[in-house]
Structure 1
Amino acid sequence: MLLHWSPRSPYVRKVMIAAHEMGLQDRLHCVRTVVGGTTPHLELMRENPLGKIPTLVLADGTIIYDSPVLCEYLDTLHHGPKLFPAGAERITALRWLALGDGMLDISLALLSERSRPADKQSQPHMELWRGKLMACIPALEAEAVALSASAFSIGHIGIGIALAYLDFRFAELNWRDGNPKLTAWHEAFNMRPSVQAHLPVDDR
């Protein structure tokens, strides 16, 4: 399986951590694919018209995107504990995944705006996005006990990566302040071998 990949993408990191948890990481042939900016990646767009990573290409030519769909597909390929559980636990895991992905979407919008020249930046938008990110933190603090008590799932990966991306790009937000339960949960998340094996890299 060929995976269009970048060490900077938190969405790719989600897939790599999930694949590691499933024992499938060695089945992925990772191909460095640079996207973003104003130049379209035409080769990638022939496989994924959105031009986004991660994108998975199977041996028979089947193409799978985006990261939640890709992770759920991988979860069908192994016989160990499933990252996408059944029943009520599935809804909780998917809700946590949606929250984590939403935080990543906002973080990347904020990062893109912050990278513009100062006189071109929209301060109202940046304040709005920061406010949304920080509104997620007390909500997660309230769920930290549930995160700690429940079986590890795709939702845990989504939340863990979103918080790690705040550390990576927005350390000034100090999300740990006043959130001891969430801080403790994230410290435990960061100790997992799958997480340590796929740390974010800024190689620009």
Structure 2
Amino acid sequence: MRLYHAAASPFVRKVMVLLHETGAVDRVTLVPASGNPLNPGTLPVDRNPLGKIPALEREDGPTLYDSRVICRYLDDTLGAGLYPPAPRLWDTLVLEATADGISDAAVLMRYEEHVRPAASQSPEWVEAQWTKIDRALSAIEDRWTSHLAGPLDMGQIALGVALGYLDFRQPQRDWRGARPALTAWWGEFAQRPAMVATQPVQA
């Protein structure tokens, strides 16, 4: 399998954390890819018409894209059990979707501030994205603490990656604030070997 990869992408990192947690990193060849909506660069537009990464090229079928699709495929292929049976499955999927939404909003903030021409940037739009992130983090603090204390699943991995991306790209924002449970959880989760191994470095 070949994974189109950029270490700074939270969605790529989510896949990489899964591979590290399952000891399957050596089963995937990493293919560097970079670009943005204004310049696709080396993004695999021939394999993912949306021009996004991650994209997982398989020998036995078409290329998979969208991190949730790829993670479900790898979880099934590797028998990892990171998507537990129902009823816990639904909590895992909602937490994963919420965490991915945080990552998506943070990526849009990054694009607005560093890709769009300065004259076209909208600080109000950036703050609207942050409002979504802030609201989602508060919901997780209020509703998901018990789930975070349970067995490792893809909801937890997606959340860990999202929080790591906030620290990586928005270090001036205080997401911790009045969220002691989430802050404590992140302090421990960030030390997992799979998270340390996939930590992006500022270019």
Q: TM-score, normalised by structure 2?
A: 0.92
Q: 1:105 to 1:148 in 2, by over 3 A?
A: closer
Q: Which runs of 5+ in 1 are unaligned?
A: none
Tell me how far 1:155 sits from its aligned partner: 0.3
Mapped pair 1:124 → 2:124? yes
Q: Structure 2, unaligned stretches of length 5 or more?
A: none
* Count of paired positions: 202
CA shift digits 1:84-128 (9 cap, x unpaired)? 111011100100010011111111111111224544221221221
Aligned-pair CA distance for 1:171: 1.5
The residue correspondences of 1:8-19 to structure 2 (distance < 5 A) are 8-19=8-19
Question: Would the alpha carbon gap of residues 184 and 191 (structure 1) be closer, same or farther in structure 2, given more than 3 Å must change?
Answer: same
Say if 1:120 and 1:79 are closer, same or farther in 2 by CA, change over 3 A: closer
What's the RMSD between the two structures over aligned residues?
1.7
Q: Which residue of 2 aligns with 1:84?
A: 83
Asked if 1 retains the 8 angstrom alpha-carbon contact of 2:43 and 2:53, the reply is no
Q: How does 1:17-166 map to 2 (within 5 A)?
A: 17-41=17-41, 44-80=44-80, 82-115=81-114, 116-166=116-166
The answer as to whether partners of 1:100 and 1:158 remain within 8 angstroms in 2 is yes
Task: Tell me if structure 2 keeps the 8 A contact 1:147–1:185.
Answer: no
Do the aligned residues in 1 keep the contact of 2:14 with 2:161 (CA within 8 Å)? Answer: yes
Which residue number corresponds to residue 196 of structure 1?
196
What's the offset of the Cα at 1:136?
Answer: 1.7
Q: Secondary structure at the match of 2:46?
A: helix
Relative contact order, higher structure (CA 8 A, sep 6+) = 1
Question: Quick one: structure 1 residues 42 and 117, their matched pair in 2 at CA, closer, same or farther if it must change by over 3 Å?
Answer: closer
Question: How many Å separate the matches in 1 of 2:184 and 2:51?
Answer: 37
- TM-score, scaled relative to structure 1: 0.92
Question: Secondary structure at the residue paired with 1:44?
Answer: coil
Q: Is the 8 A contact 1:4 1:56 kept in 2?
A: yes
Percent identity of equivalent pairs: 37
Higher share of residues assigned helix = 1
1:157-199 C-alpha deviation (Å, 9 max, x unpaired)? 1111111111111122211122111111011111111111110
Indicate conservation of the 8 Å contact 1:7/1:202, yes or no. Answer: no
* Counterpart Cα distance in 1 of 2:145 and 2:162: 18
